[in-house]
Amino acid sequence: MQHTIKISLSTAITFCFLASSTDVDAQRIQPVRFSEVNITDQFWKPKQEKVATATLNACIVQTEEKSGRIRNFEKVARKQGEKHEGIYYDDSDVYKAIEAMAYSLKNRPDAALEAKADEWIAKIAAAQLPDGYLNTYYTLTGLDQRWTDMEKHEDYCAGHLMEAAVAYFNTTGKRVLLDVAIRFADHIDSTFRVANRPWVSGHQEIELALMKLYHLTNQERYLKLADWFLQQRGHGYGKGKIWDEWKDPKYCQDDVPVKQQKEITGHAVRAMYQYTGAADVASVTQDPGYLNAMTTVWEDVVFRNMYLTGGIGSSGNNEGFTEDYDLPNGSAYSETCASVGMVFWNQRMNSLTGDAKYIDVLERSLYNGALDGLSLSGDRFFYGNPLSSIGNNARNEWFGTACCPSNIARLVASVGDYIYGKTDNKIWVNLFVASNTTFQMGKTSVPLRTETDYPWNGNVRIKVSPGQKVKYALHVRIPGWAGNTPVPGALYTFTEAGNTKAEILLNGKPAEYLVEKGYAVIDRTWQKDDEVEIRLPMEIRQVKARKEVKANEDRIAIQRGPIVYCIEGADNAGEVWDLLVPENPVFKTQKSQVLNESIVAVQANLLAVKPAPDGLNVRTEPKLVTAIPYYTWANRGKSPMQVWLPSKMKHIRIAE
């Protein structure tokens, strides 16, 4: 019997969700770790190769030769009173680079890279003090001042050390960095989790890192310490240079206790790391206060404060949020690190709730807002990611504050972390990435292989080959962008309904399944060589924004599958600001390339607006325009670009 997917409200469009803010049911889905997933994907594997070579080489050169980041650790070990080089949070960039190395070593074993990581780790270990403290800034500038300024990122750096240590141990089994991280975590625990010692971390990160350490070591003190850091917020404890300058505790999400927070405020990256940590704690404690607060804040982000690309944080002034619907395009800050944080947070929310809407947002941020931060060559970067340009934006080799290069490196290298999930009798397929892994269902091993050319093609094959017949429920995400049901209050919607629906086949025949929270659930007894095929509609869709988003008034954007498109001058005779979208534009796909990146481009029949011969009026003429994936722009030099294209003449800018 033919079965048609019933798209629920929560799966209508990637960015169109309605979730209750109270009494959210929690569950624990365990993501399958990157170290257990082998990626064969034609989209992601080449990018991981670039990270393993070009990106990490850039990180190594900048960290060792062009900055004092590694020298600072060497100076601490020498104990000769030498001066600290750089910024007080530079240690964190070393740790994030090592974390990216760890993921890359799993994806692409490299003896030289591993030797370099071990060399750095030895220098880090040599800089650790006998009491476990490790921070080159304070050790070189004055230990009497350590733990006196909440803004100085000591615990932020410590968190990145812990993340790197866990990742490196998972890949190599080597304990040197892990033991360093454990000693530092123990030092922090004994220093702070005591009576009458309040502390609000200036830059959140340690909360989620402690949870990684907890899951690896099963030491409950790290869970309690992560919860302690979260509970310090919103009581007036926060003090430090940045707070004093801003005079607004919202900047660091310290205005109200975490469990009472209802809106997204302040610095975007700090917020993402905080809510990721809160979700991690809630996954263990099942604390409804954290979950309900995060659900409410998530709605505030997705319904009122998120770019179409999944980027967040519109303002460069506070590197974060301003007012609802304030989403300018040309001045969009949309920091790469914030999009990376959106991936982290939405994964945890999905693991907590089993709701696919969080993976929809994760996917949007991953393929667009975050990936845009890395050049196609792998050695140039964006810190901010605007949605339009007059041709003055260029990717950089590096930054003084260099959080983004190593952050996007570790994300791309660890994509395997986000593909699959598992519970005792369930398998979850979240992202469509060609890969293979093995699940354990009771005493039966279930090898699983995904084959696809996603995101360019919507056909996905999932093959399972258990050693013997075994019963479990396979949950396959039906992307929100594949649906047609309008959702009240959605920030972005498609202008018209799609013409086709997603299909799911089992061994070549229409599958019997239920739809639960955006997943097609096939619950049956599986046997060797069973195959599920998902056919997703890869139509070219026009997107419009809510009227409250004034920056996008009378404008449309182009999306195909999870990919947001833009019009760049490099493909369109250098001009994109004179384009007008007619009432019924015609779109078609075309296989193409941006440099060496194979893509599916979109050809659009639009109108070019030109001055009339009289010089007083304007005229329009048909123009065939090429749109490329947003993440590929600015790879061929400076060029004008637009994501949101005007449909009314008043928004046209004509070159003189």
At 23 the pLDDT is 43
| 91 pLDDT above the threshold of 80 | yes
- Cis ω before 646 (30° cut-off from 0): no
Question: Which amino acid is located at 164 in the chain?
Answer: A
- Dihedral of CA atoms 518, 522, 526, 531 in degrees, nearest 10, equals -70
Residue 325 and residue 546: Cα distance in Å, rounded?
Answer: 9
The answer on pLDDT for 485 being more than 80 is: no
386, 330 contact by CB (below 8 A): yes
Share of the chain above pLDDT 70, in %: 93
Structural tokens at position 420: 């699959």
Q: How far apart are CA 526 and CA 345, in angstroms?
A: 33
Confidence bin at 27 (pLDDT 50/70/90): low
Give me 83's structure tokens.
């001066």
Reported as type and span, the H/E element at residue 137 is: helix 136-141
pLDDT at 249: 86
* Four-residue CA torsion sign, 299, 301, 304, 309: negative
**Beta partners for 627?**
567, 602
Q: pTM here?
A: 0.94
Instruction: Convert the pLDDT of each residue in 455-476 to its tens digit.
Output: 999 999 999 999 999 999 999 9
| pLDDT band at residue 247 using 50, 70 and 90 as cut-offs | low
- Residues 497-519 pLDDT 10s: 888 899 999 999 999 999 999 99
Question: What's the pLDDT score for residue 243?
Answer: 55
C-alpha 431/C-alpha 516 separation (Å) is 17
Specify the amino acid at residue 639.
Answer: S
Residue 473: C-alpha distances to residues 99, 348, 423, 429, 523 (Å)? 33, 21, 10, 11, 4
For the chain, what percentages of helix, strand and coil (3-state, to nearest 5) are there? Answer: 40, 20, 40
272: left (phi over 0), alpha (psi -120 to 50) or beta: alpha
Return the domain boundaries, the chain. Answer: 45-255, 420-535, 554-651
Q: What is the average pLDDT across 343-368?
A: 97
CB 252 within 8 A of CB 202: yes
Closest C-alpha to 261, from 230, 237, 227: 230
% of the chain at pLDDT higher than 90: 86
* Topology (CATH level 3) of domain 420-535: Maltose phosphorylase, domain 3 (2.60.420)
Any idea how long the chain is? Answer: 656
167 contact partners, CB below 8 Å, separation of at least 6: 98, 99, 102, 103, 410, 414
Edge to edge, the sheet with strand 470-477 lists 30-31, 420-423, 426-429, 470-477, 519-526, 514-516
pLDDT in tens, 534-575: 999 999 999 999 999 999 999 999 999 999 999 999 999 999
For residue 240, pLDDT beyond 70:
no
Q: Is the pLDDT of residue 288 over 70?
A: yes
The answer on pLDDT for 22 being more than 80 is no
CA distance 143 to 417: 38
Q: Average pLDDT of 56-78?
A: 96
Q: How far apart are CA 239 and CA 332, in angstroms?
A: 29
Give residue 652's pLDDT. 76
Angstrom distances, CA of residue 607 to CA of 86, 150, 620? 51, 55, 6
Residue 202: predicted pLDDT: 87
Determine the pLDDT at residue 618.
85
Rounded distance between C-alpha atoms, residue 90 and residue 69, angstroms:
6
- Quick check: 1 pLDDT over 80? no
Q: What pLDDT is attached to residue 248?
A: 78
